[in-house]
Chains A and B, each alone.
Chain A
């Protein structure tokens, strides 16, 4: 398989969509390193291929010094995936302190990761993927910071794609629709909200983390070597109306 001996770093790969992405790369024999905020991968309480086969590094991107001191177990990197993200409900994102924190984590820390790891990305075919959202394109009711950060990711990835194309680094993104993770608990754990969300999805189901993982593996592979600067929406048609 194509990812044998390829090195993949999934920032925020400890849970949710990032973990699903890490799993798909592991299935294709990649060497995967993930980061998470907890001390140990075991602290997430999930026994799977990710906990068994990936390297784990604790990384709290809300600490501005954390990246400076970070050492990853790879001396070169083929694919960087930034899947870190938070959201604050109950109108907390209308408070400036919270707004700044969400922007720092969701947007600014992605740029910081790209800058930090780009020097390691000298292999042919190296590429970066940033996780966006339907909120990259549309308003999210009650979440100005989340929306602004995800909208920012869209133009950030296009700008980096243009800037680094001649160095052979592709930069793309994935905009997932509804996927059951801790960020979407408020929707899928509420029976009424969940049912009404299904009505708005043409394919009439929520996505699985692996749905996003398959697209990530495709975009990262040489099969997608002429795609750069694109955000690919994987949402079962949710965003169509």
Chain B
């Protein structure tokens, strides 16, 4: 299973400098896939990742892109298409910093900005890339959260917008299937990488509560997440569309 099947062309990963995106970019490159990816603030991490995948013998491309700007999102996607000839896979791996608090305690401006970053950002990704995927079919894979499947208190700012992302995926699966486009989500559980590492959680806080509900009784290893993302993006999952696959050690079961 080390080689997932991909057609000729390349992939775009939105958010390729964060903890989750970096690993997805690397694994795609390990599968021989050319990857264009974006960053927003962490230019150094993005450059290191680019260098690392070029060493693997694939082509890469990076750019600072603010997904709230439709025009630059679209022009980045088009440049990637130009460079690789064809785009067969798109991965959405960005997320805003998580404010952990009850929804009624959140400041309205924080709620608006998280909704924007996730839903508007992902809508722009869809708007920019679906026309490219229509050319030869392909996959759209979004990273969301297992808290969509089972809510956990104080996680609303994360799971509410991600639920919107998930439903946008469903819309694409339903409406663009005839073009050979698949759209799926990976519902991320507690993984020892990425934004969850930045959460401040005192003993008995959200992380402890979450952990108590994980039958496998451990956080996931980063690789356990990357593999599922790349599997869903690949042709090995060619008949899977419109699904949300939790990688959560059984948390949402």
Contact = CB atoms under 8 A, between A and B. Distances in A.
Given A201-B177, A203-B180, A229-B250, A240 B242 contact: yes
A96 interface: no
Contacts of A226: 189, 191, 216, 220-221, 224-225, 247-249
B141 interface: no
B246 interface: yes
Contact of B245 (A207, A212, A217, A232): A232
B227 A236 contact: no
A166 B228 CA distance: 22
A227 B221 CA distance: 11
Contacts of B246: 227, 230
Interface centre among A162, A170, A203 (most CB of B within 10 A): A203
A226 B180 CA distance: 29
A3 to B, nearest CB: 8
B178 interface: yes
Contacts of B7: none
Interface residues of A, number: 40
Interface residues of B, number: 39
Contacts, number: 122
A166 B179 CA distance: 43
B224 A225 contact: yes
A237 B215 contact: no
Interface in A181-207: 201-204, 207
Nearest to A204: B178
Given A226-B224, A227-B245, A214 B236 contact: yes
A218 B236 CA distance: 9
Given A2-B1, A226-B224, A240-B173, A234 B215 contact: no
Contact of B241 (A2, A203, A228): A203
Contacts of B106: none
B16 to A, nearest CB: 21
B242 A161 contact: no
Interface in B197-253: 215-217, 220-221, 224-225, 227-228, 231, 236-243, 245-250, 252-253
B167 to A, nearest CB: 11
Given A28-B1, A162-B215, A218-B236, A236 B241 contact: yes
Contacts of A15: none
A235 interface: yes
Given A158-B253, A217-B1, A221-B1, A165 B243 contact: no
24 contacts: A161-B250, A162-B215, A162-B250, A162-B253, A165-B215, A201-B177, A202-B175, A202-B176, A211-B239, A214-B237, A215-B240, A218-B1, A224-B228, A226-B191, A226-B248, A226-B249, A227-B224, A228-B215, A228-B253, A233-B240, A236-B239, A237-B177, A240-B170, A240-B242
Interface of B: 1-2, 170, 173-178, 180, 182, 189, 191, 215-217, 220-221, 224-225, 227-228, 231, 236-243, 245-250, 252-253
Given A226-B221, A226-B225, 6 more contacts: A2-B2, A214-B238, A218-B231, A229-B253, A230-B246, A233-B240
